[in-house]
Amino acid sequence: MNGLGGLNPSPDAMVLGLVQFAVPHIADRSGVLDTVQRIADMVRGAKRGMPTTDLLVFPEYSLIGLRPENWLDDSLLLDVDGPEVATLAAACAEASVWGCFSVMERNPGGAPFNTGIIVDDAGSVQLVYRKLHPWVPLEPWSPGDTGIPVCDGPKGSRLALIICHDGQLPEVAREAAYRGANVILRTAGYTFPIKHSWRATNIVNAFTNLAFTASVCLAGPDEAGIWSMGEAMVCGYDGSVMEEGDGLPDRILTAAIVPAEADEARRLWGVENNIYQLGHRGYVSVEGGATDNPYTYMRDLVAGTYRVPWEDDVVHTDGTGVGYPEPAEVRRRAQPR
């Protein structure tokens, strides 16, 4: 189906390398810099080891690790236009391979952003995405403000990046596909309790959007001995699982996909062309299909009045229960004017 995991790709196939990067144990800024260099070396080494590779994807938290006490340490945060990202971009250019990387981004206006970038094979940043849905209440990141950007990628791909918990909300992958992505990347730092939902959502996000999904987590133990799960995974636009990884740290799962096949399905499918049919309901009986919005939650979200029926009973509505202070925005609103 895919040429032995990309060893023998067809001319129109994109070969993915999903890196189950070992959880880094970061104590200070020198640890971040060492990890930047290690990732750059892996980019060059992976391309040498498998020259057919078009895109290498590294997981969320690859540069800062999983110690929450590090996440708000300004000395460990990076800038997208900073020297660390330049080192990663230079490695992509040297190896002539695309790369997807995780950056915990400094934000002078508030809490940091959990950011992902896609760099092309000439070393230019083609996409910057800030995680829309931090994994609350355990993550302190500012909710992203970039929307879901899409960029042209190798072999006719249109790439989008979503991060970790983003993939649990079907609207995020749907937005990526709606904006034209035929390959949706998902990076994460998940541990094994999320394994089932990880697999289920990667499959569903592919099938409901007629898109390829390519997903990868950190792997191996953190400082407390808790393992992230690795579990790299590539799904076809029909919801089939093309390749699956395991929990082995630093294993690179490879797969060849043909982005044009997803484009063809979106054009030619009748039954189950779900992303088209969402906005063209019942086109057999209604010319062009019904184009109204029957979904209350969509209307309320647009109006700023989103409220679930059990809103008053929700227990966790900020991070104070796990040790974070009240959100800064709440404190600012509470200040007398």
Tokens of 293: 């919005």
Q: φ and ψ at 274, to 5 degrees?
A: -65, -40
| Per-residue model confidence (pLDDT) at position 175 | 98
| Per-residue model confidence (pLDDT) at position 334 | 43
Q: 233-235 and 241-244: which strand pairing?
A: antiparallel
Q: 98-105 and 113-119: which strand pairing?
A: antiparallel
Residue 291 lies inside a defined structural domain of this protein? no
- Mean pLDDT calculated for residue range 308-331: 89
Q: Label residue 45 by pLDDT band (50, 70, 90).
A: very high
Single out the catalytic residue among 92, 151, 164, 217.
164
Amino acid identity, position 169? L
Q: State how many domains the chain has.
A: 1
Q: Is 92 a catalytic residue?
A: no
CA distances in angstroms from 281 to 36, 265, 288, 292, 302, listed in the order given: 49, 18, 8, 9, 21
Q: Where are the beta strands (DSSP E) in 189-261?
A: 212-217, 219-221, 227-229, 233-235, 241-244, 252-257
Residue 329 lies inside a defined structural domain of this protein? no
Cis status, amide bond into 309, omega within 30 of 0: no
- For residues 128 and 146, is the Cβ–Cβ distance under 8 A? yes
Q: Label residue 2 by pLDDT band (50, 70, 90).
A: low
What's the CA angle centered on 102, arms 148 and 36, to 5 degrees?
155
55-57 sheet: strands from edge to edge: 125-130, 113-119, 98-105, 55-57, 14-19, 252-257
Res. 174: pLDDT tops 60: yes
Single out the catalytic residue among 60, 84, 105, 139.
60
The CATH code of the domain that includes 177 is: 3.60.110.10
The pTM (predicted TM-score) of the whole model is 0.96
Residue 36 lies inside a defined structural domain of this protein? yes
Single out the catalytic residue among 100, 105, 131, 243.
131
- For residues 232 and 35, is the Cβ–Cβ distance under 8 A? no
269: which DSSP letter? -
- For residues 67 and 60, is the Cβ–Cβ distance under 8 A? no
Digit-coded pLDDT (tens) for 62-118: 999 999 999 999 999 999 999 999 999 999 999 999 999 999 999 998 999 999 999
Q: Label residue 3 by pLDDT band (50, 70, 90).
A: confident
Res. 330: pLDDT tops 90: no
Cβ-based neighbour number of residue 312 at 10 Å: 7
Residue 311 lies inside a defined structural domain of this protein? no
Q: Label residue 331 by pLDDT band (50, 70, 90).
A: very low
Digit-coded pLDDT (tens) for 47-70: 999 999 999 999 999 999 999 999
d(CA 42, CA 182): 27
> Integer distance in angstroms from the first to the last C-alpha of the chain?
64
Digit-coded pLDDT (tens) for 231-242: 999 999 999 999
Q: 150-152 and 158-163: which strand pairing?
A: antiparallel
Tokens of 176: 């990526």
Res. 333: pLDDT tops 90: no
Residue 100 lies inside a defined structural domain of this protein? yes
d(CA 211, CA 182): 5
Name the average pLDDT for the chain.
Answer: 95
Residue 7 lies inside a defined structural domain of this protein? yes
Structural domain that includes position 15: 3-277
Q: Label residue 312 by pLDDT band (50, 70, 90).
A: very high
Q: Is 105 a catalytic residue?
A: no
Q: Which helix (H) or strand (E) holds 299?
A: helix 296-303
Q: Which residues contact 218 (CB under 8 A, 6 or more apart)?
A: 20, 21, 22, 23, 59, 60, 61, 62, 66, 188, 189, 190, 228, 230
Digit-coded pLDDT (tens) for 120-146: 999 999 999 999 999 999 999 999 999
Q: Is 60 a catalytic residue?
A: yes
Residue 115 lies inside a defined structural domain of this protein? yes
Residue 241 burial (10 A CB sphere; 0-12, 13-18, 19+): middle
Digit-coded pLDDT (tens) for 202-232: 999 999 999 999 999 999 999 999 999 999 9
Which is nearest to 165 in space by CA: 138, 196, 188?
188
Residue 304 lies inside a defined structural domain of this protein? no
Digit-coded pLDDT (tens) for 243-292: 999 999 999 999 999 999 999 999 999 999 999 999 999 999 999 999 99
